[in-house]
Amino acid sequence: MEAISAVLPGLAASATGDPDSGFPGGVFIGSMMASAGIDPSVLVKIGVTLTIIASVFGFLSNAWEGITQISKFFSDNLVSSATIRSTDEAYVYVMRWLYNHKISTDSRLFGVTCRKNQMNPNYRQHARWYGQDPVDDTESDGIDLIDDDLGPKLKYTAAPGFYHFFYKKRLVLMQRKLKDDYYGFEEPDVDLTLFTFGRSPLTLRTILEEARTEYLMEQRSSTLIHTTVATYPPTWSLGHPKPSRTLDSVIMAESDKEKLLKDMKEYLKPTAKRWYHKHGLPYRRGYLFYGLPGAGKTSLTLALASELSLPIYCLSLASSTMADDVLLGLFATLPKKCIILLEDIDSAGIDRQSMSGVGLYTAMASKNDEDDEDEEEDEIRKREEKKKLAALKSGSTVSLSGLLNAIDGISSHEGRILIMTTNYRELLDKALIRPGRVDMEIKFGNADIEILEGLFKAVYSDDGDLQDFIRGAEKMTKEERKQKHNEKIEKLAVEFGSRVPSDKFTPAEVQGYLLSHKSDPEDALDCLDDWLKSKLSELDLLQESEKKAKERLQRATEKKIKELQKKKRDRIKEERKEKEEEEKEEKEKKEKEKKEKEEKEKKEKEEKEKEVKTEDKSKMVNGTSEKLTNGVSKREKNSEPEVQAAADSKS
């Protein structure tokens, strides 16, 4: 302020044109302002204002820096916090707890969602936050409607930012922060952080434990179904709840049901793991459900999971993103106790010889043509029959060895229950269903009398749905009405089981008919003959069609067999012809070699004889020469005495 006070008099004097003001350029500035008709005092006011603003901003900046340092000190030393990622199951607990306590919905700053696509994993996540599952009691029937007459309803949640609420009279701060490292088609990751003042984290842990307890208590009447998320590599979703199903609602042979449940409960005992390890056995259990479609394989799996309070992890091996390493990774991330469900394992296209998922029939199609005729015919019949039963699948890169390693390899996970389902057991590789990998098999077939009666009782067991079924029910007590209802349903169930042919229809077909008459069991019996006539007619047509198809298949098979036999005969003829030609060529070759050998021997003999003659001739010439030489020498010897005598006589 002293600097301002010192500058202002000079500025004012300059504005009046005083040459002694001491302000550089003051005279020029004053003359310019005077010519423009501007009061010189305005410049003074502007300068003072700017100076004050600069001073205020400097003060605020220093104050904010001090506040930041103080807040950092408090957060590091006097504040407890808990951070939850949106990819963790605990995030669902907290979000649902906030929704139930009207904390996320009553915020001044909030987000809005209107998700309808139930196949979208983000929708299922929001449904778990907002209670769009059958365990809510917002409606009289326990179902929270997700739409009204106009369409989907709006759901609200706290937007990213800072919020506060009070828990047991203690202030709790909450921050939701979006992560920007995500792709545009995905749900962004969110960090949810809770703060409380004080060094003790007890309040935060109490909130988290309460959120977990409330959520899990709500989910006790439902079963969590986990599927793979469409990412690369695929990961398990957080799961979506499905209404629990009792074992009584699954109509099948009671002996099989009791045997299966007893085996699973024995496996899940706390002492079972120690027993397995003590005897050197891997702590795993596998089951195979096979049989006709619509017989209850998937329903039994859901009922078992509900009975044992286990989550279900559904895995599709036919996915184009599935590979051996991905499969091992998914199995490795399974919880200690759960049910892993491999549905329709026969249609996954897994082959012992294939590393690219070309199908279950690769080994059969690649049989060597050199097999015996009977074996070839048998393989052709099997191949055609299996092609008729199931289509060849492609796209999966999971090999049989990769699946076996994931199920019970040296690095496989222990403690889980494996359930595989198939409509065609005969298509599965024996290594996949051998004892040790599959410990128990349950066959599902058409409905017999026991199942028929059980289905009828299951559909009409609730007397509350059939108010007018018992005459005079309004005069009876609740126990009397229920007893009367059960007696009548028992009687009608026996009649129903006796009228419907045993082992003709699947449980799904029978249940579908009963559901079309779910409000009147007597009407179901009255219309039964017409339904049976229609279904039996359909079965006859189906059997006739299958018979014709089988005949066509038989003809096609016989034709292929004949073609194969002809091909084999032609091949044999060709081989014989080639063999004869080879033998002929070999014979000619041997004859030629023999002839060449004889000619060579003859030539050698002639040459030898010629050499002998030459030697004899040489010997004769040498002998003659020796004789001549000997004769001359002899004559010379004989003539020497005569010459000597002549010389002597001459002398």
Mean pLDDT across 310-321: 83
Mean pLDDT across 364-375: 43
User: Phi/psi of residue 7, each to 5°?
Assistant: -80, -35
Over the chain, what is the mean pLDDT?
75
Mean pLDDT across 6-35: 57
Question: By the 8 A CB rule, do 144 and 136 touch?
Answer: yes
If you write DSSP's letter for every residue of 167-230 in order, what string do you get? ETTEEEEEEEEE-S-S-TTSPPPEEEEEEEESS--HHHHHHHHHHHHHHHHHGGGEEEEE-EES
Total residues found in the chain within this entry: 651
- Residue 147 CA to residue 130 CA, distance in Å, equals 13
Identity of the residue numbered 373: E
| Closest alpha carbon to 305 in 211, 241, 216, 236 | 241
Residue 29: is its pLDDT beyond 50?
yes
Sign of the CA dihedral with 449 first, then 450, 455, and 457 last = positive
Exposure class string for 483-499: b at 16+ Cβ within 10 A, else e: ebbeebbeebbeebbee
Exposure class string for 517-543: b at 16+ Cβ within 10 A, else e: beeebeebeeebeebbeebeeeeeeee
3-state secondary structure 286-335: EEEEEECCCCCHHHHHHHHHHHHCCCEEEECCCCCCCEHHHHHHHHHCCC
pLDDT at residue 648, rounded to an integer: 62
pLDDT band at 646 (very low <50, low <70, confident <90, very high): low
pLDDT at residue 394, rounded to an integer: 47
- Residue 301 CA to residue 456 CA, distance in Å, equals 22
Question: Strand pairing partners for 364?
Answer: none
Mean pLDDT across 333-359: 69
Tokens in use for 76?
């590091």
Residue 287: is its pLDDT beyond 90?
yes
pLDDT at residue 634, rounded to an integer: 57
User: Phi/psi of residue 176, each to 5°?
Assistant: -110, 125
| Closest alpha carbon to 187 in 231, 226, 241, 142 | 231
More confident residue, 342 or 239: 342
pLDDT tens, residue by residue, 599-627: 888 888 888 888 888 877 777 777 666 66
More confident residue, 236 or 28: 236
User: Phi/psi of residue 175, each to 5°?
Assistant: -130, 125
Residue in the structure block whose two tokens are 């701060």: 173
Give the range among 17-31, 70-84, 583-597 with minimum mean pLDDT: 17-31
Question: By the 8 A CB rule, do 428 and 345 touch?
Answer: yes
Identity of the residue numbered 426: E
Question: By the 8 A CB rule, do 362 and 439 touch?
Answer: no
Q: What angle do CA 615, 621, 625 make, to 5 degrees?
A: 140
Residue 125: is its pLDDT beyond 60?
no
If you write DSSP's letter for every residue of 396-441 in order, what string do you get? -B--HHHHHHHHHSTT---S-EEEEEES-GGGS-TTTSSTTT--EE
pLDDT band at 354 (very low <50, low <70, confident <90, very high): very low
Tokens in use for 233?
């590599």
Mean pLDDT across 505-518: 86
pLDDT tens, residue by residue, 141-167: 333 445 666 777 777 666 778 888 889
At 624 the three-state DSSP class reads helix
pLDDT band at 333 (very low <50, low <70, confident <90, very high): confident
In the CATH scheme, what architecture does the domain 245-363+393-444 have?
3-Layer(aba) Sandwich (3.40)
pLDDT band at 289 (very low <50, low <70, confident <90, very high): very high
- Residue 446 CA to residue 201 CA, distance in Å, equals 59
Going through 485-598 in order, the beta strands assigned E by DSSP cover none
**Both ends of the chain: CA-CA distance in Å?**
184
- Residue 17 CA to residue 26 CA, distance in Å, equals 7
- Say which residues have a Cβ less than 8 Å from residue 433's Cβ, sequence separation at least 6: 288, 420, 425, 441
Sign of the CA dihedral with 312 first, then 318, 324, and 329 last = negative
At 527 the three-state DSSP class reads coil
Question: By the 8 A CB rule, do 181 and 156 touch?
Answer: no
| Closest alpha carbon to 364 in 355, 376, 374 | 376
pLDDT at residue 145, rounded to an integer: 44
Question: By the 8 A CB rule, do 452 and 497 touch?
Answer: yes
- Say which residues have a Cβ less than 8 Å from residue 607's Cβ, sequence separation at least 6: none
More confident residue, 131 or 258: 258
pLDDT at residue 419, rounded to an integer: 93
pLDDT tens, residue by residue, 60-73: 888 888 888 887 77
More confident residue, 380 or 163: 163
pLDDT at residue 441, rounded to an integer: 92
Question: By the 8 A CB rule, do 506 and 299 touch?
Answer: no
| Closest alpha carbon to 532 in 477, 457, 459, 452 | 452
User: Phi/psi of residue 421, each to 5°?
Assistant: -120, 145
The percent of residues above 70 in pLDDT, for the chain, comes to 70
